């Protein structure tokens, strides 16, 4: 009997333990537990790994604490451009979208691409039109905005026209105490989930709002299958978070599967090799979550910390922010 397992992440970065209050830490940990519970309900009810990662990432997109969906960062033109990808480990079917501006939940759009089109990747206006045609909920772009994200853009542009910030590092640059557990100057704003269901199938999904003050049209690793998201029942399911350009160059998510399949490495060995040996020379700060067909979960990162959590169906969730 296979025990279903779900793992999620909400971004990697450096810690500021001295600046976090117990209340702030509790806020993030409670959010992670609530999201894990939502995905676990799917698995406990006999649902698929694909449904579980879809629900977990949708909930992450709805939480303004994380940079995906509501609470996404702004581009340098004060717009939101949202990206997501999803992959089914059983069939290796996948779907991805990028540069969405009005679709409430990009992960649902990515899944619609996978299930209702002959293609894998839609971007921009084409992605928007496809999602609308599938009946997905559309919102005014202001839905994604928060005051904190607007302030980050203002500060980035005051600092310099070419300043591009990872997630919400405005507080750090302004010399103010950070309001989040991670050092906001080096926090990577991506969310993701991986799961194993009771039938032995794997799935992964990743979603992001990008980087503050990024050039319009820039796409990172999150929606790139093989870089920010990958799943195959033969090996593992992976969702990454970090400096996207490096993860694309390393084909990071697929490389873990390849090291397992062709190199005979375990999940832990493969993930550690990618995160701690292959990514750093490329400037690849960040981390990932991954799961194999036996339910083994790894969550390595080469930064000071990463929002993360996992749950086995019917058991108590484990969440963490700091390095254990």
At residue 21's C-alpha, the angle toward residues 192 and 7, to 5°, is 20
| Position 111 confidence tier, pLDDT thresholds 50, 70, 90 | very high
State the Cα–Cα distance between residues 82 and 136, nearest whole angstrom.
15
pLDDT value, residue 219: 94
Model confidence pLDDT, tens digit, residues 55-105: 999 999 999 989 999 989 888 888 999 999 999 999 999 999 999 999 999
Annotated binding-site positions for substrate: 218-221, 241-244
pLDDT value, residue 305: 85
Torsion, CA 81, CA 82, CA 87, CA 93, rounded to 10: -50
Are residues 309 and 7 in contact, defined by beta-carbon separation less than 8 angstroms? yes
Are residues 105 and 82 in contact, defined by beta-carbon separation less than 8 angstroms? no
For the segment 269-273, the average pLDDT, to the nearest whole number, is 98
| Position 21 confidence tier, pLDDT thresholds 50, 70, 90 | confident
Query: In the chain, which ranges are continuous DSSP H helix?
Result: 22-44, 49-62, 106-116, 124-133, 147-159, 170-173, 244-250, 252-263, 267-273
State the Cα–Cα distance between residues 60 and 70, nearest whole angstrom.
9
Place of tokens 């991506």: 190
Place of tokens 């010399």: 175
State the Cα–Cα distance between residues 269 and 109, nearest whole angstrom.
33
The more confident residue out of 156 and 123 is 123
pLDDT value, residue 174: 40
- Does residue 238 register a pLDDT over 90? yes
C-alpha separations of 106 from 68, 189, 286 in Å: 9, 15, 22
Among 12-16, 36-40, 139-143, 276-280, name the one with the lowest average pLDDT. Answer: 12-16
**Range list of β-strands (E), 90-218:** 94-100, 121-123, 182-188, 190-196, 202-208
For the segment 132-146, the average pLDDT, to the nearest whole number, is 94
pLDDT value, residue 164: 59
pLDDT value, residue 19: 63
5-144+182-322, CATH topology level:
3.60.20
Strands 82-88, 94-100: pairing kind: antiparallel
Identify the active-site residue in 190, 206, 212, 240. Answer: 190
State the Cα–Cα distance between residues 243 and 14, nearest whole angstrom.
13
Give the chain's radius of gyration (CA, Å): 18
Q: Provide the 10 A C-beta neighbour count for residue 132.
A: 14
Is 146 a known active-site residue? no
For the segment 100-117, the average pLDDT, to the nearest whole number, is 98
Q: Provide the 10 A C-beta neighbour count for residue 178.
A: 21
Chain centroid to CA 1: how far?
A: 29
Instruction: Pick the closest to residue 53 from 62, 64, 42, 63 (CA basis).
Output: 42
For the segment 22-35, the average pLDDT, to the nearest whole number, is 92
- Does residue 133 register a pLDDT over 60? yes
Cα torsion angle, 31, 246, 169, 322, sign: positive
| Position 184 confidence tier, pLDDT thresholds 50, 70, 90 | low
Please report, for the chain, the start and end positions of each structural domain, with discontinuous segments joined by +: 5-144+182-322
| Position 160 confidence tier, pLDDT thresholds 50, 70, 90 | low
Annotated binding-site positions: 218-221, 241-244
Residue 258's φ and ψ, nearest 5 degrees, are: -65, -40
Residue 24: partners with Cβ closer than 8 Å, 6 or more residues away? 179, 180, 181
Residue 45, SS3? coil
């Amino acid at each position: 009997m296979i025990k279903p397992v779900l793992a999620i992440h909400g971004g990697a970065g450096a810690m500021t333990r001295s600046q976090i209050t117990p209340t702030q830490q509790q806020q993030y940990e409670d959010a992670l537990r609530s999201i894990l519970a939502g995905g676990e309900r799917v698995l406990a009810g006999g649902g698929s790994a694909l449904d579980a990662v879809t629900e977990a990432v949708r909930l992450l997109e709805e939480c303004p604490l994380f940079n995906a969906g509501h609470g996404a960062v702004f581009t340098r033109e004060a717009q939101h451009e949202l990206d997501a990808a999803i992959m089914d480990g059983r069939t290796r079917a996948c779907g991805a979208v990028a540069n969405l501006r009005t679709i409430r939940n990009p992960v649902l759009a990515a899944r619609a691409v996978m299930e209702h089109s002959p293609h894998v990747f839609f971007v921009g206006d084409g992605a928007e039109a496809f999602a609308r045609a599938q009946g997905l909920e559309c919102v005014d772009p202001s839905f994604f905005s928060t005051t904190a994200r607007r302030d980050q853009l203002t500060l980035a542009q005051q600092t310099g026209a070419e300043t591009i910030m990872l997630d919400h590092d405005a507080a750090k640059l302004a010399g103010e105490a950070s309001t989040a557990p991670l050092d906001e100057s080096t926090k990577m704003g991506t969310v993701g989930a991986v799961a194993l269901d009771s039938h032995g199938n794997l799935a992964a999904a990743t979603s992001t709002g990008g980087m503050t003050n990024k050039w319009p049209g820039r796409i990172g690793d999150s929606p790139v299958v093989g870089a920010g998201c990958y799943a195959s029942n033969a090996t593992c399911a992976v969702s990454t978070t970090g400096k996207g350009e490096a993860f694309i160059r390393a084909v990071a998510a697929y490389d873990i599967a390849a090291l397992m399949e062709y190199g005979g490495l375990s999940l832990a060995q493969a993930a550690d090799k990618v995160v701690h040996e292959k990514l750093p020379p490329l400037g690849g700060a960040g981390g990932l979550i991954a799961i194999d067909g036996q339910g083994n979960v790894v969550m390595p990162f080469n930064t000071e910390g990463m929002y993360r959590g996992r749950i086995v169906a019917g058991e108590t969730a484990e969440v963490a922010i700091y390095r254990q």
